[in-house]
Amino acid sequence: MFSKALFKQSCKANGVMWTIITFAVCFMLACVMLISGNGNIGETKNAIEDTIIQKEIDAAIEERAINYYSLSDSALTTFDKEYIAAFDKAEYLKTVAALMAGGKSESEAKTAAASKYYGVAALKVNFAAEQKAVDLGYGDDKEKTREIVGVSMFALNPELIEEGSKTLYNAYLGKTEDILDAYDVTSLVVYAMQDKGEEYITSIERRDYVSTRAEKAGAPKSFAENDLHIDLQKLKKGDYMLQCFAAFVNLGDKTPGADPLVTALEEIDVFKRIMEKYPEEIAPVYRPSDIRKNAAEGKISGMLTIEEGGCCKGSLGVLRRLYELGVRMMTLTWNHENELASPNVVPGGGGDIWPCAPNTETGLKEKGFEFLAEMERLHLIADVSHLSDKGFWDIVEHSTRPFAASHSNCRALAPHCRNLTDEMIRALADKGGLVGLNYCSGFLDHQPEEKLCRSTTALMAKHAAHFKQVGGISIIGLGSDFDGIGGKLEMDDCSKLPLLAEALRREGFTEDEVEDIFYRNARRFFEENL
């Protein structure tokens, strides 16, 4: 009979003996394994070495691939800049017309007419790549310089460096799609053929600059980093807590087949894809708690809005579906009459009348009042920017919840009809609303001509001071209208917010008040009203 207690006692009394026995048994088993394994030890050793070597090779390939994609992305950025700088629209159109008159197809004519701009831009890419090689310390290394130039030119035209395709293949091998996603090189997709390093890269998809550049002033933009007012890097540099992303719709779009609802849905899709692509850095806001949650996790908050309620086509069902997609604020109008209400800026539909007379006659329509009620039920914030003066007062009279003027300034300082009168400011404050400073020069300055208007942080600070005097500090936020305005801006992207902070201090705002304007007021407003 086995006694557990006696066994424990025996082990304790004869510890050394049991240790020797255990060691001896293990040694014999090891010998048996060695004998039975015969010559396979060498194979095992070789397999381990092969694995280590393969990992080192893979790491080297990945590092090289990252470097190559970085060079490609830089080349494409340089090409964009230089092509736009060289492009002459009038000359291009003239050349296209002449070539078509000579019998060439429209596609052939456009390609040929744009070729000289392509050549200029490509040459600049070549020069930039040579300088990059120097900057990296390869000025005297001709082979390395050729490699860097070759990679850069390959991004524009793979046919230019056929001899270097095998070298490039080794860099892209097995890493293409992951690296592509990581570095957001949306214009370059490489397909590898084999995993042995013996085949060339044989296919590449790229932006066709030559045939389309003339018709499109821009190119696919990366949200991570671009030449617009806002990108992820600029938002982080500006220490943003929350950014509203407006799905903008122009009801005056004459493009064949243009549909305002489709446009809105496509822009919402862009927002969704951005949120999905950078989940560690930016996250959507659907409920009040999301703002603080995102901040606690070190993420910027992105809130989806719509600029033009006419995209709903008067349908409350569409409105509800847009809310389900994440829309949390919406202007009833932009610069066009729609089923819901009238705007202040009507002639031309693009804000081209300056400073413009306010519309005090027509406001919310019957469908507009229905929308206001449903928006308030959903907690979808009504935005009165762009709305007519009459429409503003309709909102004041019939709203039961706070509303916002997302990008409007003070009419007392700048007479544009898009700005708010003192009476409007007081009414918005009484309703618990929020107003966002607009950085557009025509909404900031009071000059005899629009072209003389300036966009400076000093003027922004003066509008903030007027808002404070009339409606109190708690109504003021930052509206910007970035990437919706042009002209010369002192604060020309969202990373430059410290300039505004300093201007506010010079205007007499305390540090607490600056913090209120920069984030506290907006956070409170959205947390209380979403």
* Mean pLDDT, range 167-171, rounded to an integer: 39
Q: Is 50 exceeded by the pLDDT of residue 20? A: no
Q: Is 70 exceeded by the pLDDT of residue 177? A: no
In the block, residue with structure tokens 């936020």:
477
* Cα–Cα distances in angstroms (integers) from residue 453 to residues 262, 266, 363, 466, 488, in the given order: 36, 34, 29, 19, 10
The more confident residue out of 415 and 257 is 415
How far is C-alpha 56 from the chain's CA centre? Answer: 35
Instruction: Tell which phi-psi region holds residue 2, choosing left (phi > 0), alpha (psi between -120 and 50) or beta.
Output: beta
- Among 106-115, 411-420, 428-437, the range scoring the smallest mean pLDDT is 106-115
Q: Is 60 exceeded by the pLDDT of residue 425? A: yes
Q: Count H helices and E strands in the chain, helices first.
A: 21, 10
Q: Name the token pair of 227.
A: 């030449």
Reduced DSSP (H G I as helix, E B as strand, rest coil) percent helix, strand, coil of the chain, to 5: 55, 10, 35
Alpha-carbon dihedral angle through residues 284, 289, 294, 295, given to the nearest 10 degrees? 130
Please provide residue 437's backbone torsions phi and psi, each rounded to the nearest 5 degrees. -55, 130
pLDDT given at position 80 = 65
In the block, residue with structure tokens 């013996």:
198
Render pLDDT for 326-368 as a digit per residue (tens, 0 to 9): 999 999 999 999 999 999 986 554 445 677 889 999 999 999 9
* Mean pLDDT, range 366-392, rounded to an integer: 98
- Does residue 308 contact residue 333 with C-beta atoms inside 8 Å? yes
The more confident residue out of 390 and 55 is 390
Render pLDDT for 184-210 as a digit per residue (tens, 0 to 9): 222 222 222 222 222 222 222 222 222
* Residue 307 CB coordination number (10 Å): 25
- Does residue 155 contact residue 75 with C-beta atoms inside 8 Å? yes
How far is C-alpha 342 from the chain's CA centre? Answer: 31
Q: Can you list the domains of the chain with their CATH numbers?
A: 56-212 (no CATH), 239-376 (3.20.20.140), 402-530 (3.20.20.140)
Q: Is 50 exceeded by the pLDDT of residue 380? A: yes
- Among 53-57, 253-257, 285-289, the range scoring the smallest mean pLDDT is 53-57
Rounded-to-integer distance, Cα 339 and Cα 87, Å: 41
The whole model's pTM is what? 0.61
The more confident residue out of 32 and 306 is 306
Exposure of 380 in the CB half-sphere (CA atoms within 13 A): 26
Q: Is 60 exceeded by the pLDDT of residue 9? A: no
Rounded-to-integer distance, Cα 530 and Cα 524, Å: 10
pLDDT given at position 65 = 56
* Cα–Cα distances in angstroms (integers) from residue 427 to residues 340, 390, 393, 471, in the given order: 22, 13, 9, 8
- Does residue 412 contact residue 443 with C-beta atoms inside 8 Å? no
pLDDT band at 47 (very low <50, low <70, confident <90, very high): low
Q: Is 70 exceeded by the pLDDT of residue 56? A: no
Instruction: Report the chain's mean pLDDT, rounded to a whole number.
Output: 77
pLDDT band at 514 (very low <50, low <70, confident <90, very high): very high
